[in-house]
Structure 1
């Protein structure tokens, strides 16, 4: 597909009619006299409480009597016949949610995209959609340049699909994807062998464990994780593996300290307030030896950490696997920065969910 074709497909996606506008309009007008439930406990579905008449939130694993935002939690099996269900899942598995609902015999399913389009401003688009739309308006030319630079058809298709979804929240663009989070960072084109690996955002050691299993002849691992709880879990998880240096610090573009929400599990991130104060270093200061493979998933702090590793990237030419999904501009910013250091990097893009999260850009 050419750059012109890419732009044409994106424009068509923005203008595409929703799948279920009539039912969405009936919901918004209050004309529908049927039980209505919502899937997804997030800020977008919370905004519907009070705006629509909702009878409950779908939650298969809730304790009996559990409530969410004043709504009772109801398993799919207990939904009444003829119920209308709003699929508010957007981050991980909206397609799988739709399939489970249909397998239970439910067919009156409305998406957030349907409600936003039918409401004509009455229902706000999800935040990730609004952000992506603004970024596309401001930088569509650079998005086209990124598309043209990608190394293979799979990368170009991934960018097109993910961008169309992020611009619309229309799950129809994600029908070919599955949730495969355990596979991210480890694509065949990396050809891992005898690497010195940097795991930036090491969490509980899950990615390092996957790396060590795939590259048993690795030289060294440097795992960075500022959350004490996560780091303890990583040490325990990885005790059977050799040559792992555990760094109890956050990575950024300068040493110091910062506030960090250390108790948010895999979503632990830099915090503008609250959290705890943690030590900060740079990759260039913390690791003296050459590195050959860097993975980063830092909940939006990737650009700062990349800047702190500029010497390693420039001198060592490592393979990079960088999360780019936390904000719309991450795709462009990470791509531009890595290519400014090594214009001949081959760039790949892969996606590991059915929603807006877990997109990784690779530089080889």
Structure 2
């Protein structure tokens, strides 16, 4: 399966990304044509590599036995670089997203991950066509809900766009994160967003948090579902993820919560459970929304990803100490106590084992080889 990471760029140096990225594109106007050069100053420019780590990192060392292993370590990535607010990109942010989404679709993405928010519920009308283009080409689009700690109290676009699977965050107890999540009626599922690890462009491993990390966990699960069930269209891939999610605290199964969506993602059930097919995307129809609401708003409502809309970034982070130093997980540590992600059958079907499931197996917290 091919997953497009629309972000600051997936660095080409770390061993954890060996053979992971099949192609790329720069939509920012300040990156490299292949989308691999981190765009903007650090730590924001590390963001794309951290996101890719959770999604599809291959591990390091002989046979990938060390380092960070992502949810879908056999997925193929497309690195599409965009410029966040501090990147000095000359291209309007809304236009960057349009370019990035369309390029991803045209170059074979089965899943698109957007670990960003505009801190506003609405979006420019130019996004209507871009996201509908993805829907028309059967692409699963996943977006971060945003973080209260970064000023996003309520979910913002693109996580508010109908048809997009928006992802909230939970802590290690499975409770909605106070700072590393948001809330809103468009949330589809929740996934771990605290005490995450990511491979930086220089190969070091950093601790970070936010729904920017929860989103690629779910994107990895979507890749696993598409690999295990190639007959499913995007609507049914999303339905499998939402229908098999486990209820959050005090949430009734089958209900949609503004904190957890349909529940906490369960990768094992998403891949293996028996789920009745659906005819419509449980996250709604953008085409129907546009037909109903866009005429009343006019061609463009004037809001969306303009100069005042700041994509989600992350605070400065220090590299994690080497294994055995005492403050980080040691060898074979499993974040949130989940059974590790495994790949079965060579390049064929990928399967995840575990309770919450959508997480990573960090075999050793150390500098990448």
Q: What is the TM-score of this pair, normalised by structure 2?
A: 0.27
Ranked by relative contact order (alpha carbons within 8 Å, sequence separation 6 or more), the top structure is: 2
Q: When you count helix as a share of all residues, which structure comes out higher?
A: 1
Q: What is the TM-score of this pair, normalised by structure 1?
A: 0.27
Greater Cα radius of gyration, structure 1 or 2: 1
